[in-house]
Every structure is written in C-alpha cells, then in structure tokens.
Amino acid sequence: MEWIQVPEEGLSLREIRRLTNRAVNLSADVEQAAAAILEDVRANGDEAVRRLTKKFDGADLQDFRVTEEEIDEAVASVGEDLMAVLREAKENIEAYHKEQVRKSWIREFRPGVRLGEQYEPIQRVGVYVPGGRAAYPSTVLMDTVPAVVAGCPSIAMATPPGRDGKVNPNILAAAKVAGVKEIYKVGGAQAIAMLAYGTETVEPVFKIAGPGNAFVAMAKRLVYGTVGIDMIAGPSEVCCVADGSANPKWIAADLLSQAEHDPRAAVFLITTDAEFGKAVQAEMEVQMKQLPRYEIIKSSVGDYAKAFLCRDAAQCFDVVNKIAPEHLEIELPDPESYLPLVKNAGAIFVGKYTSEPLGDYMAGPNHTLPTSGTAAFSSPLGVYDFVKHSSVEIYTEEAFRKISRKVQLFAQAEGLGAHAHAMEVRDED
C-alpha cells in the first residue's frame, strides 16, 4: 500500500487524479476491435452473433435465446435457500427503487398557461450481465428490477454462455425472480451490437444498461447515439475514512472485498491516524493470503492501494470529494454527522456495521455505480435511467395573444422568419 502524506494546503484535483489513475482509459486497440465486432453484427445479424459466440465463448449455438425449460432447470438446480435469498434481495431493491418513481404533472404557471412534464418508461431496454471472472446474479437484480419498477414493457437481457452453451444457473434464477423472460446467451461487444442494432431474431432496444469488460464498455460508448447507455463502468473501487476508533480487522476486510473484483480494482484508506493505518495495512497482508482470489487481490493491492494521511476530518473529506469514489465507507465516531461533507460518492456506507457488501447484495440501493471519479458528475443506476420525460405546454387563445408579439420579436432577432410567421398567421385570423 502506497502512503501519501497530504500536505497542509491539501492536494489539488490534478494531483489526486494523478495519484489514483489506473490507466483504465480504453485503448485504440480495444476501440478498433469493438468497432469491427459492431459492424460485423450490424451487417450480418444472427450469423455474426453465432460465429462470434463460438470464437470468444467456445459455444456453438444455433438458437441463442434461453428457453423457459432452461430457466426452470436453473431454478431447480440452485436450491430453495438461494432462491429465498434472491427473492428477499429483489424485494429490498424493489422497495428502495419505488421511492425514485416520478409522476407526470401539469399546473398553471400563468393565466391561460399550463406547463408540465409527462413521464414515460423507455419502451424497450437491454440489460447486459457480465460473466467473465465470476457470475453475478446480484447484477441481474440490480439492473433489471429498476427497469421493472419503471414500467418498461420490454426488457431483453444478454449474458455470456459457458463452453457448454449454457448460462450460469444463478444468473437465470435471478432473472426468474426479477421477472425477466427474454434472455440471450450472448456476451461481449457482440451482445451490445445485437441489442443496439437488432438481428433477424432480436428486436433492437432503445437503451442499454449494465457493466462489462473493456470491450463491452467500448462497444457501449460506440453505440451511444444509436441507443442510450447508462454509464461507462470501469474497475471497482472502495474508499474508507476511518480512525483509531474503528476495528482495523474490519476495515481491512472491507477494503479487500473490493480488491477481489479485478486486478485493477482500487482501495483507498483515508485516515488521520498513522498507527491505525499501519494496523489496517498489516491486517490486509494477513487476510489476503487466506482468501480464494488471492492473486487478483494481490495485484489490486500491490498496484492500486493508497493510504492518505490527513491532518483532520475536513481534509479527509476534501480528498474523498476529489477521488469521487464508487463506494465510500465512513467509520468515525458519530459517522452520520459527516454526511454533509460528502459531495462526490456513488454509494455511502455509514457506520461500522454498514459494510460495503451489504450494498452489493441485500440493502436495496443499486450497486451499479459510477467509477473512476465519475461519481463527481453521475449517479447510481436507478429507475430514472429507464424513464424519459417530455415537457408539456398548453396555451389558451388569450394567453397566446398576450405573448405572440414578444415571440415574434425574439424570432426576428434570431433571423428566423418562419418562426415569427407561425405566430403572425394566428394573430391575423
């Protein structure tokens, strides 16, 4: 773990970005490869999807849609204990996200002028669920339940198959719980292409959500404009603000829980207590050797673990806000009192018993979060990602005539005579 002594004057945003950079920018090689796949699927449809699935996943599929029988088999295989956990998680996620639902409204702003917003769910959305280093049934729930709550009438899910042509049963079980029936055994950039452009057997969508590897992320970036996307998600990260009042064993475990995701995952400890920080570091060294994904954790911690030593809490949260972490844990005395200091974070975990994995699985808020500093300008996935709104404007004749001349003057000032004319013809009649 690299230690950084924060100077009295603090660290600039530029310095923070330099210190926390993980070289996650998508390369020209990745862009070229993803672009070629997108064009192949756009031009060749189902044939390209089959060919690319065989090439990248080793699965030779004629029909890549998951059948109801396959879903039922998956549900039977995972057992009732996991199904019960999935159902409880779904209920928690659903209850939280129902609070995000916005209703259409219209009200009178001025005499004869009614204005409002009309909210509508996106009519068809695609959800990508990764299946590389691990299968994530939690991501199925997190990325589909908000779409269901939003009222999207059509949801298509894509996820990579194994070499045997089957989807991980935990993934299918979670989809069953979420109520998603249209599932495709397609992964990578070819899945994004299939969802964005459609094929002979798959209708295109209007928006794509869900995390993935570098090729998936690049493909999402390249299809943006043809479809909407939720975000470009990079490797995971967690930031913990803690002092000597916290248990170093617990803090170490929380940091390692994110390091196991990816060799490029980042963990940040921010503290005012050097001795406590060293104790956390020592615990990390001990615990990581006992964990099954040791090699991934070792790479993440070795390359991207940082400890910031600050003079006080205010400086700690200044560093937090410049990092803009995906996950933020606050383990200080009276931790909730520090919430007003947090300006940039994807998800905030408050207090020693609010361990980050709670948010990954069972708490209810979404775990698809902005990464790599993007929490400074973007938000967790939510119902609002699956809804759009239109403005509504209603004028009476009296209200129109009262403002018509002003609109004409505005239009004429911009040289738009047809705009002015559209008002004039109504004034004349």
Active site residues: 326-327
CB neighbours (10 Å) of residue 179?
Answer: 12
Distance from C-alpha of 310 to C-alpha of 316, rounded to nearest angstrom: 6
Helix/strand number for the chain, H first, E second:
15, 14
Distance from C-alpha of 296 to C-alpha of 288, rounded to nearest angstrom: 10
Kindly write down the DSSP assignment for every residue of 29-96, as one continuous string: HHHHHHHHHHHHHHHHHHHHHHHHHHHHH----S--BPPHHHHHHHHHHH-HHHHHHHHHHHHHHHHH
Which residue's structure tokens are 């004039």?
Answer: 424
Distance from C-alpha of 351 to C-alpha of 331, rounded to nearest angstrom: 5
Token digits of residue 309: 């030593």
* Nearest residue to 148 (alpha-carbon basis) of 173, 170, 127: 127
Q: What are phi and psi of 123, to 5 degrees?
A: -70, -30
Torsion angle, alpha carbons of 131, 133, 138, 139, to 10? -50
Sheet strand arrangement including 327-331: 2-5, 305-309, 266-271, 237-242, 327-331, 347-350
CB neighbours (10 Å) of residue 47?
Answer: 13
